[in-house]
Structures are given as structure tokens and as C-alpha cells.
Amino acid sequence: MKKNNIKILAIESSCDETAVAVVEDGRKVLSNIISSQIDLHTIYGGVVPEIASRKHIENINFVIRDALKEANVTFDDIDAIAVTYGPGLVGALLVGVAEAKALAYGLKKPLIGVHHIKGHVFANLIEHENLKPPFVCLIVSGGHTEIAIVKDYNDFEIVAATRDDAAGEAFDKVARSVGLGYPGGPKIDKAAKLGNPFAIEFPKARVNDSKYDFSFSGVKSAVLNYQNKANMTGEKINVNDLVASFQRAVVEVLVEHTITVAKDYNIKNVAMAGGVASNTALRSLMEEKCNEEGLKLHFPSPIYCTDNAAMIGVAAYYEYLNGNFKDLTLNAVPNLEL
Amino acid sequence: MKILGIESAALVASVAILDEDITIAEYTTNFKKTHSETLLPMLDEIIKMTGIDCSELSAIAVSGGPGSFTGLRIGAACAKGLGLALDLPLIHVPTLDAMALNIYSSDAIIVPIMDARRNQVYTGIYKNDCNLEIIKDSMAVAIDELFEILKDLDNKEKIKKIIFLGDGVPVFREYIDKNLEIAHDFASANLNRQRASNIAMLGLKMFKEGKSLLSDDMRPEYLRKSQAERERNVDKTDAGL
């Protein structure tokens, strides 16, 4: 099997983006098409799984054609079909998985199943040519908050996880509660810039019995309680101060634990992945602390932080090199583990 | 002209290859495994068994709905992926129309009923005296509403007999026997569920009538909005909007 000029067509449909990309040799993104449904879900204040699945099936062939066209390739040039098979919304995942299997079967090309979070981690390789394992990666999104040690391209160890909400979920809930709307992450990021992060002291998102794990329900509840109390006493809340203080409570712990892991495992490269990795407060504090500790920090551009298929194409390349292919029985696994 | 038929609208998973008036192969299961795991391996099995190459196909017919939302999408994604890969047109075959083809050369009224939950059925009303006649198109209705429609029909022109089939039968059989006064019966085990050969056969007819689609444009017909959309509409009505 050839090792160079491997072009992979990758499909991602685990949540509310129908995304298809063509990636060469795990680094070069030839196309990265994302059909976002965010406007459809905004009126519901969050992603509606059934609506997401319906949009995926309507969009998918158009997005695949666009990805081929943008990459200036045809199916003949494609060496393998890759697809996210978990974790995610089962109905949404199933559209991508069934489509990818049918494509691979019809084209007689190998099929690769990719773990969504592995994709997020590998998004870092797209723009950082020199980044190689081992590295520590903080994964933060609406569905995940984990610290992984990437020992090798196919060897991950999760050393920290959240005990309750994901960080992004806490952002969404707080944003909704203070009336900033959906999606919460970018809205809070923006409002926090106008506020004083030291105005209110909220509990930190750590747990007592673990050095690395997270818990966001406490800080989230504290924000909601603060609001209720202010409502009862008729005190006027400064929303910008409130979300800036909340954001600080979350971000400080994310950074602190990531740095601790890097130091404990003596790893010099740190990366960030997932939608919340584009939060500006998180980026600047992580940068500051990494500089202090002599660590090198990497993070993807915002377009590769949120859900996309380029990252799936990157992760798929290493499965391809390992000969790790799936057969036609591949199913969607909504709670797939790393 | 060879047509591939795909059926996954309900619990049945079925694939068939039809060549004009011959069913070359058909593989049907009604088993708890998910369609995602069964449909393509079943297709691969009949392709290998018959030695037919996918490039010999002229079109792909797929059971387009109504039915299980997820089941419909797995079938549609399967058809769309194959259509895109093999550059083949798709034919969106109404699921209930295809089910009615289980009864042939009969003057009975054919009523496929699919369990739609919430005490409703997906149904349609047909006659197939060698030529399929659609008396009432696919709809999602309460079982009592279906009775009313059938009574109206009976008042206009005496119904000799109704044949019910589909996975709504085990759910509503007793209720039908108790409450429907028109003569009726239930299709036998070999004829009471979906089959991909029906999809392919009706698909071939539709294909010859020019009713095919670009694979990009095929989307299932759910006959129902998502729960979130329904509830939102209710909220709006409540608020007087």
C-alpha cells in the first residue's frame, strides 16, 4: 500500500454541522466544507437532534460534491473514505456513517472510522508542522472536557475528565440564564471582555479527590444562585462582570490542570482542541502560563476548533497507515470511548 | 434494466435486485439488529451471490417514507451514497404504496398500517386489481380517524373486504376487530411486511415514467415534523401568535 500522496475524503456529522473535507497525507487540507445549521437551532436555544439529522440527510451529497470540487479532485483520486462514528448524537452520526459506508462500497475504497475527539486533537497537526507526539492536549467543547496525553499517533491516555457538565455546556447554560443566548461560548467571550473578571469570586471548577479532574456544576449553580439572590433583593446585576468572573473561574482551572499534567508527565508540548479552545481568555491565560513554565503551546485556528471534517481526515490518515479499516457493519456509537 | 431496491422504513431491512419482470435476488430480515449494521452487508451478500456488479444497475429505488425517522435516513443515506459513488439516479418510492403491492389481483381494499406511536398510524388506502390504484395517499392519522375515512368510503361504495397489513396490525388488531364493522382480514406472515422487491418493482415503473431524482435531491418523507417543531408551534398557538 502506498504511503505518500494519500488523499482521504472525510465526513463529519456528529452534531449540527454537515462537514466534508479532502486531506492529503494527514497534514494538507485540500478542502474543508462546513454546512452549519446554527441558525436553525438558535430559536430552540440548543441543538435539536431530529432537526440536525434531517438537515444532514438533505445536505450531505451537496457538501461531498463541494469538497471534491474545492479540492479539485474526483472520486478516482481518493484513497479512502473516513467518517466520524462517535461520540455524538446517534441520529446525526448515523447519516454520516451510512453515507460513508455506501460511498466506500460503491467506490470499492477502504473505510476508516474516526473518533470525534481524536479528530479534535489532531486538528493541531494541520497548522503546526513540527508538532509530534508526545504532547498534552486539553479538549474543551460543548460535549467534552478532558486532558489527553498523546503518546503516539494511535496511543492516547485520558488523564482528566469532567465529573458533570462539559465546560462548553456550562458556558451555554450560564449564557442562557443571563439572557445572552445561544451559542453561549462566543457570547460570553465577547461580553466578558467588557467586564471585570475579579468582580465576583465563584468556586473553582475542581474536585477534592482528584488532582486533574474537573467539575463545572458547582460554579454554574453559584452563578445561577447569585442571579436569583440579586433578583430577590432587586439588586442590579452587571452581566459583563458576572460572565467575566464565571469565565475566569472556569478558565483558571482548565489552565492550571493542563499545566500540572504537562509538568507531572514531563511533556514540553501543550495543545488545545474543541470549540472552547477558541475562547480568547483561555488562550491568553494558557499562553501566559506555558511561557512561565517553559512549555510550548499550540492551538488550531478557530475554523479547526469547531466541528469540521478536515480534522477527521487528519486522524484517519494515521488509522490508514496502521491498516485500521472498518467493514460494512460499522455502526454509530454515541458514547464511543477513546 | 436492473434496479436495486432498498427498504428500511420500519423494523424490516430488505434489499433486492430486479431485472424487468424478474426478481434476481432479495434478502429480507425482520430482526432486532439495527439497519446500520445489516443493510449494506445484506446488499454485499446478494451482489456476491449473483455476481452482479453495481455498475450494471440503472437506478436505485428506496423506500422514501413515512416510517421510523432514523430507519428512513439510514436507507436514504445508503441510497444517496451509492447513487453518488456509482453516478446513478434515485427513485423515491412511497413506503405505503409499495406495501400495498403485497396484495395482488384482488377486489379488496388494501390498508397498510404502520405503527406511528402516539396512538397513530401511517396509512394509505389502495386497491390492486392487477393495477395499483391509490384511493387515499399516505397520511399520519389516529386509528379512529382511519375508521371514519373507511366508513365514508363504505357509504359511497360498499366495501366487500379490507385487508390490513404492516407492523400496525399487532398493535391495533384487537381494536380493529372490536370497533370496525366493515368486513376485514389481516395479511398472512409472508405478505404482511415491507419487501425491497416491491420497492424495486414500483421503482422501475416510476423510473420508466421519468420519476427519478439526482441522488443529491432525495430526502425522506416523514409526514411529521420533529417534536421540537411541533411543541414550538403549540407554544405559539397558546401565546396567540
Q: Is residue B241 pLDDT above 60, yes or no?
A: no
Q: How many Å apart are CA A116 and CA A14, to the nearest integer?
A: 8
Position A1 scores a pLDDT of 67
Q: What pLDDT, on a 0 to 100 scale, did the predictor assign at position B106?
A: 95
Each residue of B111-137: pLDDT tens digit?
Answer: 999 999 988 999 999 999 999 999 999
Cis peptide preceding A134, ω within 30 of 0: yes
Are B226 and A62 within 8 A, CB to CB?
no
| pLDDT given at position A206 | 87
> Which residues from chain B sit within 8 angstroms of residue A80, using beta carbons?
none
**In angstroms, what separates the C-alpha of B162 from chain A's closest C-alpha?**
35
In chain A the beta strands, taken as DSSP E runs, fall at 7-12, 17-24, 28-36, 80-86, 111-115, 135-140, 145-152, 155-161, 269-273, 296-298
Q: How far is CA B21 from CA A62, A83, A184, B198, B209, in A?
A: 34, 38, 58, 12, 16
At A205 the pLDDT is 86
pLDDT digits (tens, 9 = 90+) for B153-187: 999 999 999 999 999 999 999 999 999 999 999 99
Task: Give A320-329 pLDDT, tens digit per residue.
Answer: 999 999 999 9
Instruction: Give A52's contacts in chain B (Cβ within 8 Å).
Output: none
pLDDT at A190 over 60: yes
pLDDT given at position B121: 97
Tens-place pLDDT, residues A290-302? 999 999 999 999 9
Average pLDDT over residues A277-281: 94
**Yes or no, beta carbons of B226 and A51 under 8 Å apart:** yes
- Would you place residue B240 in the very low, low, confident or very high pLDDT band (cuts 50, 70, 90)? very low
**Mutant choice from B74, B88, B117 vs A, greatest count of A C-beta within 10 A:** B74
> Which residues are CB-contacts of A330 (< 8 A; sequence separation ≥ 6)?
A83, A85, A97, A101, A111, A113, B36
Query: Span A18-29, mean pLDDT?
Result: 97
User: Tell me, what DSSP letter sits at residue B113?
Assistant: E
C-alpha grid cell for residue B114?
404502520
Mean pLDDT over the full length of chain B:
95
Q: Which residues of B touch A69 (CB under 8 A)?
A: none
Q: A52 falls in which pLDDT band (50, 70, 90)?
A: very high
Using CB atoms and an 8 Å cut-off, which of residues 18-57 of chain A contact chain B? 43-44, 48, 50-51, 53-54, 56-57
Read off the amino acid at residue A338: L
Confidence of residue B237 (pLDDT cuts 50, 70, 90): low
